[in-house]
Structure 1
Amino acid sequence: MIDLGKMDFTTLFKGNLSAMAENMTGGRSYSGNNKMMESLLPMLGGQFNPVFRSLMLLYQMIGSNLGIDPTLILTLVGFFWAANRVVRQVYGAVFRLVQENFMSNIHITSTDEIYTHMMKWLALQPLMASSRSLTAETVSKTAWEEEEELEALQTRTIAGSGGGNTEYLNFSNQEAKAPPRYVPAVGVHGFWFKGRYFRLQRKLQNVFDGEANYGTFRKEEDLIVSCFGRSPEPIKELLQFVKEFYYQDHYARTTIKRPSPAPMRRYGGRYNWSQVANRPVRPMRTVVLDPKQKGQVLADMNEYLHPATPRWYANRGIPLRRGYLFYGPPGTGKTSLSFALAGVFGLDIFVISLLEPTLTEEDLGTLFNSLPRRCVVLLEDIDTAGLSRADDEVDAAPSDGKGNKSPKGDREESSKKNNKDDWKVSDLARALKKEAKDDKKGISLSGLLNAIDGVASQEGRILVMTTNKPESLDEALIRPGRVDLQVGFTNATPSQATELFQRMYEADGASPAKRIDGHLAPPTNPAPPITVNGGTSSTSSSSTASPTKSSFSDKPLSPEAAAEAEKKHQFDAEELRRIAAEFGALIPDGLFSPAEIQGFLLKRKKDPRRALKETAEWVEGMRLQKENRTKVLKVQ
């Protein structure tokens, strides 16, 4: 080892400096530097360090083979690095000066709905799609969106089993054809809007969330939109345009939302509700209901939603709320009327299930307070929510079973339960269900009433409750002020069955009509002929639908067969009315729900004559099924 304490550094550096001076004057700078490095090598321990010796070997190879002084290369690299740092700092200082004095900006947090509007619009901009920094997102389209695309018709077919000509649709390549959506990645981007340049910056930041039992950090995004000028009006105009663009087809669709999962609801804002569906508006004429009742509900809701109504309610000290109770047997159209009303008035539907295990009374109040001013809140099957008063639960606790049992009977029952050999699977399932029911707190009646019309409850919304058993509801829940209008639904009458039949088949022969958005609807293709193993099927009352010859088949029918099949399914409006009247006459009054009749017609949706021919047999089979109280359908 070299003793650095006894080493003469003065002699060493004097020799190296003199050698460097001679090399500079004589043009031998590399050899001088090499001698200096060789002198410093023992000092730095390079003779024992393989990495340092490898670097020295590379240093010598560059100097000897290329004839370039490595020191010069290192100097140039250091110069460009320092110049880059200086330029970045100068640019940052100048840009901050310009941004603070000559630019306007608006911040958008990821918890606000405007963030969703902005990102959807940016994903459709060609300039953004060609950016070099993008984020790919998987977008799943709904069935309604795919229906309107011509690309959906390009579907593969596979041959059916049995050796016939029947082919079936195959959607194995559907996901492969769905392109991803590209949005700007985290960073700075630029785009143009109405001849003005805008700057977009996506910035992620960690936010401490202390609302949970233990503090956690969550990522939240800050979207900054900037433009040149001291007025933010151009940015406001852009945001207004983006919002209108997002809702441009909102009047033709109904948005359905449900409460978000419990971990997401802690963040508040738009995280309280999650969109679960976006369906086309349901026409009011498709709801099977007495016209008088239908008109009464429409008039009442229209009066409530009038812009002058809030002032009228405020002047008289009446809370601005409206509640409806739709009651009747299952399948009579209670939920359908709710969707149709939301479509008529252009409102969103917020569906709340009171049986949600993670939903507490505090969450219910938060959800109601985060509702928009005008919307429809749907509480389905309110009679099955298990709402009860606290005193009722206490009174009902001792009486578990039918009648009072003697102590001896209780001891025998207890002894029987304690014997594990006598337990059955049904007893175990019943015990587990009871234990789970006891552990679940759920929503009490008082908690629901406070959320509906409490002191701090939201005003301006429309509450719709549906039930199959109105008599089982608590009087406090359906009193006037909470339920302002009750609408009763019944099973289908012959006239309603006639209306349902005519509506089911009238669109097949109709000419292309305009959609709500003003565009022509896609023409309705004629019904393809029904073929089974290459032959045309005869009309039968089979309980299973026959395989259908796909219109996408590579083996089209001959012109004669196609013309004959099309002629078979053609009918005019007069014939349809006659068939519908005959069908309605065969339906007993109040025996079948509209859903049951619609299910029967859907299996024969291309042939009204076949539906009429098989109606009598279906009615008789369904009548026997209802008399025997069996859930197995013999006819369909």
Structure 2
Amino acid sequence: MSFLNYSSPYLSIVLDVLAKYLQVDISYILSALFVFMALSTTFRLSIFDTISSFFVSSIEIRMDDEVFNQVMYWISKQEFSQKASRTVAITQFRNLQWFSEAASMEEEDDGDPNEDFDTEWKKRRCRSKVNPILLTPAEGETWFWYKGRHLIRLRRFRVGRDAALPWERLTLMCFGRSNAILKELIEEAQQLYSARDGNKTVIYRPVQVGPESDWRRCGLLYPRKLESVIIPGDLKWDLLERLKQFLSQKTRLEYRQRGFPYRIGLMFFGPPGTGKTSLCFALAGELQLPIYLLSLGTSTMTDQSLVTLFNKLPKECIVLLEDVDAAGITTRRVSMAQPRDPDSPSAHAVDRAPSEKLGGITLSGLLNVIDGVSAPEGRILVMTSNHIENLDPALTRPGRIDYSIKLDYADRDIVREFFMAMYKPLDPQGEDLDHLKTLAERFADTIPNKQVTPAELQTYLLYYKDSPQLAVENAFSWPHLSFSSEDEGPRYG
């Protein structure tokens, strides 16, 4: 009673009046009421838990798994999300960006290509100022009907209350002992998410999630056509056929039966700008495989995090290690002893320090994740290097690298093909290409053989993308393009 007197003096006066006229000690009534409420709450919770254990199925979805992205995207597209009384309006998701790529790509196709630039650009700038919004139910419980006959309870809640890094979980519940309906819902979400990606190339990069490393989507790109990558002969088509053969079920079974590790390694090497990364992206687009992009020079990367990342790779993907010679851990190890043969290549090699680890990664750690005992199978490993002569032979030996492809400066055939690829009509049927072929031959005769890269060719031809005649006439000054404020056009020198 002292607590009541302190918290509410008016209530204590009422209780004193009731006790005086009814001759009843109100404290006993209140105590009995509190005991009854506690027992009632415990009983109701016990009944609910009993009913849930026998008649309710549930699936918990954690934020550190990609299925969280898929289900959240599915939820944002459902009608109940738009009609919910309590919603969250999202323009950017801090961690996983499960919708932003799709929204931006949908906007890219809205414009009219025949509209004049000023009008079309004004519309695009107005759209870019307003971020697309998706609505999802707020934290707490939301009930909705799935396929019109299954009542689903969605519970969205945070794990911890760190405002800088919201960490969420979802729980889906339905009546019944079987969770088949919930599995069907998740599969539908996966299919919708996959359909959103279409034939685009998904890019993943490593991120640090607490104490562990994990993969996160960082891009969704339109696939690059393999025809647009100009390299000598039929090399790219032969490589594509080899990869298709490797990915076939027949090859998978043969590797398993014969005891071969089911993986393949490719090395693309050559000067910068010769199309190494472009070839990798084009192959990924043709095979509809995701690319897992890994930088060995990251300061936070260690041997253990490298093992963790490789163990989390899906069975069918492309792992791209760009510029492995620049990472500092794959350089050629130099023996302290003098070479026996003074005329051997190693006798004239540049004197380098022994391989040092950068950011905690060692050469032995890299070799173990590539083809060690616990190395994952089914993936396509692609490494690029500007100076393959600097790489340790242990990294490029057969078994770790199955195919090494050199991409060099453009010869006459590549220059001619590049010119045709740039100016040939998108629909060449019925077009007279003889004049264009003549210009391509003149252009190839003008450009010095194997002195320019495909990237330089592309930069030059894009400047004259609407005038192949001017491209040929001004090609004598190749290869260095610069601009002068005193000249009306480009200046070469």
**TM, length-normalised to structure 1:** 0.61
Change (3 A) 1:573 1:83: farther
Among residues 71, 92, 106, which one is paired with 1:118 in the alignment? 71
Say whether the 8 Å CA contact 2:142–2:155 is kept in structure 1: yes
Residue 311 in structure 1 maps to residue 311 in structure 2 = no
The C-alpha deviation readout for 1:319-364, integer Å capped at 9, x for no partner, is: 1121111111111111111011111111111111111111111111
Residue 479 in structure 1 maps to residue 435 in structure 2 = no
Cα displacement (A) at 1:308: 2.4
| 1:593 matched residue in structure 2 | 453
Residue 463 in structure 1 maps to residue 323 in structure 2 = no
Among residues 488, 491, 506, which one is paired with 2:409 in the alignment? 491
| 2:29 matched residue in structure 1 | none
Cα displacement (A) at 1:45: 13
Cα displacement (A) at 1:177: 1.9
The AA in structure 2 aligned to 1:587 is: I
Say whether the 8 Å CA contact 1:495–1:584 is kept in structure 2: yes
Aligned residues: 442
Distance, in Å, in 2 between the alignment partners of 1:471 and 1:297 is 23
Among residues 345, 358, 383, which one is paired with 2:300 in the alignment? 358
Residue 579 in structure 1 maps to residue 436 in structure 2 = no
Distance, in Å, in 2 between the alignment partners of 1:137 and 1:240 is 24
Residue 103 in structure 1 maps to residue 56 in structure 2 = yes
The C-alpha deviation readout for 1:408-458, integer Å capped at 9, x for no partner, is: xxxxxxxxxxxxxxxxxxxxxxxxxxxxx9995542221211121112221
Q: Give the alignment of 1:62-77 within 5 angstroms.
A: none
Residue 450 in structure 1 maps to residue 368 in structure 2 = yes
Distance, in Å, in 1 between the alignment partners of 2:141 and 2:4 is 48
Say whether the 8 Å CA contact 1:144–1:280 is kept in structure 2: no
Change (3 A) 1:342 1:170: same
Change (3 A) 1:151 1:197: farther
Among residues 187, 192, 197, which one is paired with 2:151 in the alignment? 197
The AA in structure 1 aligned to 2:470 is: R
Cα displacement (A) at 1:117: 0.4
| 2:281 matched residue in structure 1 | 339
Say whether the 8 Å CA contact 1:251–1:346 is kept in structure 2: no
Say whether the 8 Å CA contact 2:212–2:305 is kept in structure 1: no
The AA in structure 1 aligned to 2:492 is: V
Say whether the 8 Å CA contact 1:105–1:225 is kept in structure 2: yes
Q: Give the alignment of 1:22-37 within 5 angstroms.
A: none
| 2:96 matched residue in structure 1 | none
Aligned to 2:384, the other structure's residue is in SS state strand
The C-alpha deviation readout for 1:469-511, integer Å capped at 9, x for no partner, is: 1211111111100011111111122322222222223356679
Q: Give the alignment of 1:3-152 within 5 angstroms.
A: 95-139=48-92, 140-141=100-101, 144-150=105-111
The AA in structure 1 aligned to 2:390 is: S
**TM, length-normalised to structure 2:** 0.77
Distance, in Å, in 2 between the alignment partners of 1:578 and 1:82 is 98
Among residues 261, 266, 276, which one is paired with 2:211 in the alignment? 266
Cα displacement (A) at 1:89: 7.8
Change (3 A) 1:141 1:341: closer
| 2:480 matched residue in structure 1 | 622
Aligned to 1:291, the other structure's residue is in SS state coil
Aligned to 1:480, the other structure's residue is in SS state coil
Change (3 A) 1:608 1:634: closer
Residue 370 in structure 1 maps to residue 312 in structure 2 = yes
Q: CA RMSD in A?
A: 4.2
The AA in structure 2 aligned to 1:226 is: M
Among residues 417, 420, 425, which one is paired with 1:502 in the alignment? 420
| 1:240 matched residue in structure 2 | 187
Say whether the 8 Å CA contact 1:253–1:279 is kept in structure 2: yes
The C-alpha deviation readout for 1:490-538, integer Å capped at 9, x for no partner, is: 1122322222222223356679xxxxxxxxxxxxxxxxxxxxxxxxxxx
Aligned to 1:230, the other structure's residue is in SS state coil
The AA in structure 2 aligned to 1:482 is: R
Cα displacement (A) at 1:225: 1.3
Q: Give the alignment of 1:291-440 within 5 angstroms.
A: 291-387=233-329, 392=334
Distance, in Å, in 1 between the alignment partners of 2:254 and 2:157 is 46
Distance, in Å, in 2 between the alignment partners of 1:112 and 1:379 is 24
Say whether the 8 Å CA contact 2:223–2:285 is kept in structure 1: yes
Aligned to 1:104, the other structure's residue is in SS state strand
Aligned to 2:455, the other structure's residue is in SS state helix
Cα displacement (A) at 1:585: 3.4
Distance, in Å, in 1 between the alignment partners of 2:291 and 2:129 is 33
Distance, in Å, in 1 between the alignment partners of 2:298 and 2:357 is 13
Say whether the 8 Å CA contact 2:325–2:391 is kept in structure 1: yes
Distance, in Å, in 2 between the alignment partners of 1:348 and 1:191 is 34
Say whether the 8 Å CA contact 2:327–2:358 is kept in structure 1: no
| 1:32 matched residue in structure 2 | none
Distance, in Å, in 1 between the alignment partners of 2:452 and 2:227 is 20
Say whether the 8 Å CA contact 1:109–1:221 is kept in structure 2: yes
Change (3 A) 1:394 1:186: farther
Paired-residue identity, %: 33
Deviates more, 1:334-343 or 1:449-458: 449-458
Distance, in Å, in 2 between the alignment partners of 1:248 and 1:456 is 33
Change (3 A) 1:198 1:44: closer
Distance, in Å, in 1 between the alignment partners of 2:121 and 2:127 is 15
The AA in structure 1 aligned to 2:59 is: I
Say whether the 8 Å CA contact 1:284–1:340 is kept in structure 2: yes
The C-alpha deviation readout for 1:105-162, integer Å capped at 9, x for no partner, is: 222222211111000110111221221122222234476443213499999959xxxx
Unaligned runs of 5+ in 1: 1-39, 60-80, 159-166, 208-217, 397-401, 404-436, 512-570, 625-632
Unaligned runs of 5+ in 2: 15-33, 93-99, 339-349, 483-489
Cα displacement (A) at 1:255: 1.0
| 1:284 matched residue in structure 2 | 226
Cα displacement (A) at 1:246: 0.6
Cα displacement (A) at 1:275: 1.6
Distance, in Å, in 1 between the alignment partners of 2:215 and 2:271 is 30
